[in-house]
Structure 1
Amino acid sequence: MKKVLITGAAGFLGSHLCDKFIKEGFYVIGMDNFITGDKKNLEHLESHPNFEFIEHDVTEFISIDGPLDYILHFASPASPIDYLKIPIQTLKVGSLGTHNLLGLAKAKKARILIASTSEVYGDPLVHPQSEDYYGNVNTIGPRGVYDEAKRFQEAITMAYHRFHGLETRIVRIFNTYGPRMRLNDGRVIPAFMGQVLRGEDLTIFGDGSQTRSFCYVDDQVEGIYRLLLSDYLYPVNIGNPHEITIKEFAEEIIELTGTDQKIVYKELPQDDPLQRQPDITLAKKLLNWEPKVDRKQGMTITFNYFKTLSKEELFKSEHKDFTSYINK
């Protein structure tokens, strides 16, 4: 049985990856320090014979007993609320944490996949974004702590490949959604759905003409899985290329949920990307992958998940209006 270490295992994507690898017959070691992850995301795996969990901060030295075949590094704050509240930790997990895990992969002779992000493209001047675009990033802006952590992560990963011959993979993740997302974390889908469930108006930052492309979590996880097992070592975009404006998306949410709430407009945060759409030509060619879940189907599943949350979770404050925070 192949053994895989998944960091950030208690997070949204990390927990779904744990499910995927167990389903595919792997022995999974999950690791998280719960700085943004949630223990309840892994409750269903607690008694599974092919799963174990280690509570640990990856910015500290990592020791795993026995052989290890694969590592997936998904330990990082991934929402604007998180990386604006904990900027130093965000930079550390992208630098020190990645360095520690690359060292572990080298010691174990394991293949490692690094979770990068579409944010390495910044506010892009090229549309859609392909892997050969170098990006337009403000290194000293408030979002720079996340963008540069991920760009450094890619650089050190390639350095380990070139200098040590390490087997490396890099996935650039575009907007992903589905069950186990946190409400009010600054991302579009949980923000809108949380507002609907609380009876609030839907908040759009800017005029709503900025675009996003949303990929359902099952499609995202399948793309990551295929990339890990492929022979390709350079970055690959995994996301849904179907682009929509934020205003159009808010209108979709209102129609989907049957709410009569209004749309209100607030100031656009600094360095917020105006366009985001992946070019997935490479993923189609290399991995025979493209998303299959249409947005209406995925959004219905996600909304039904959010409807099961308690009132305490629903009304928990995580800087629901974060423009004042991001513009500091």
Structure 2
Amino acid sequence: MASDYWSGRTVLVTGGLGFVGSHFVEELLDRGAEVLCLYRGERPEVLAELPAAQGLRLLRVDLLDHEALLAATEAVPRIDAVINCATLDGNMEFLLQQAGRMLDENMRMLSHVLNLARDRRIADVVLLSSAEIYSYQSTSPVREDDDHRRHMQYTPNGYRLSKMFTEVLADLYREQYGMKIYTPRPTNVYGPRDDFGTTTNHVIPNMLGKLASEQDIEIWGDGSQTRTFIYVKDLVLAVLKMVEDGRFQTLNVGTEESVSILDLAHLVAEAAGCDAGRVRIDPDKPVGASRRALDLDAFHSLVDFAPRSLKDGLRETAQWYHKNLQRAK
């Protein structure tokens, strides 16, 4: 049963029309919260799916402009919580070629949101982090304390760097200002409303996009490298529970269901109603880390629901994707 913790509270969600942010907006509205949905880019297909609730206020704001953020929120007498989902992301080419821009813009947006929360004395602050902060060299399930305090590792990946420094800045603000800041660390997130464009770096949208455009899914290496995934709505439920409970400043969010990239491709093809022959491997291409798993002891002690199986989540994701493809035609 959903808690009434959020009922009547005013919550600011940045990136509110984005993939993850829009699901926070939807769930919070369902729980009776007043939601300030901040967004930079129009996504009419997402807006059409949000409830037509009186508690929803849409504010178009560029978080890189601190004065614009202050002006957009100054008329709101009280903000009880902020959930920061705004981020600059992209495919691997973008991550590496524009790493400086990515680190700069993500950290400036984060700083503006944090300073707003500090100055307005906002009680609960969620900064969506990532399992990307952990060292790729870890061979056993990584615990929450296997983070920057133990392994601060340079990377040319601007997105990953920005998530590392999100965690560092959160630590410093907790210490200096006594703020209550939560940094959930999800594994690979997937689900409806993800970015299915050609610039995405998310593996599941990439696979579905290939199939929809009559191309095969190409797996680099032998496909034996394994990953875990979390359905976006389950991530939202876990984060809201994290804030309600208040025990954990950081939290790994994921499932125990590990899947090889090759098996994932076959599951995606099945969910899309395509033949398994549409999956092929290229053993000469490079592969990423062979395995990354999260220690989920804290997660299991917190949540009171069973996350969706990957098969069920992929089916729902494929259904949403194909429905929106039809709308676009």
Query: Which TM-score applies when normalising by structure 1?
Result: 0.85
Q: Give 3-state SS (helix, strand or coil) of 1:274's partner.
A: coil
Query: Which residue of 242, 252, 261 maps to 1:237?
Result: 252
Q: Deviations over 1:47-90 (max 9, x none)?
A: 42111111112122121122100000111134535645653442
Report 1:1-328 matches (<5 A). Answer: 1-34=8-41, 38-45=43-50, 47-61=52-66, 62-63=69-70, 64-65=73-74, 66-81=77-92, 83-84=95-96, 86-110=98-122, 111-134=124-147, 139-141=154-156, 143=157, 145-183=158-196, 184=198, 185-256=200-271, 257-259=273-275, 260-265=277-282, 267-268=285-286, 272-285=288-301, 287-289=302-304, 291-310=306-325
User: Against the structure 1 CA distance between its residues 39 and 155, is the aligned structure 2 distance closer, same or farther, given a 3 Å change threshold?
Assistant: farther
Contact 1:7–1:14 at 8 Å: present in 2 too?
Answer: yes
Alignment RMSD: 2.4
Give ranges in structure 1 of 5+ residues lacking alignment.
315-328
Q: Give 3-state SS (helix, strand or coil) of 2:252's partner.
A: strand
Contact 1:69–1:108 at 8 Å: present in 2 too?
Answer: no
Shift of residue 146, structure 1, vs aligned partner: 0.9
Shift of residue 229, structure 1, vs aligned partner: 1.9
User: Against the structure 1 CA distance between its residues 250 and 299, is the aligned structure 2 distance closer, same or farther, given a 3 Å change threshold?
Assistant: same
After superposing the two structures, state which structure 1 stretch, 158-167 or 194-203, moved more.
194-203
Q: Deviations over 1:123-176 (max 9, x none)?
A: 2423222212137676242x2x11111111111111111111111111001111
Distance 1:38 1:123 in 2: 34
Q: Give 3-state SS (helix, strand or coil) of 2:87's partner.
A: coil
Shift of residue 276, structure 1, vs aligned partner: 2.5
Give ranges in structure 2 of 5+ residues lacking alignment.
1-7
Identity %: 22
Q: Give 3-state SS (helix, strand or coil) of 1:307's partner.
A: helix
The alignment of Structure 1 onto Structure 2 pairs a total of residues equal to 307
Contact 2:29–2:53 at 8 Å: present in 1 too?
Answer: no
Q: Deviations over 1:218-262 (max 9, x none)?
A: 211100111122223521011122111101211223344232313
Distance 2:152 2:328 in 1: 34
Q: Runs (4+) of structure 1 moved beyond 6 Å?
A: 311-314
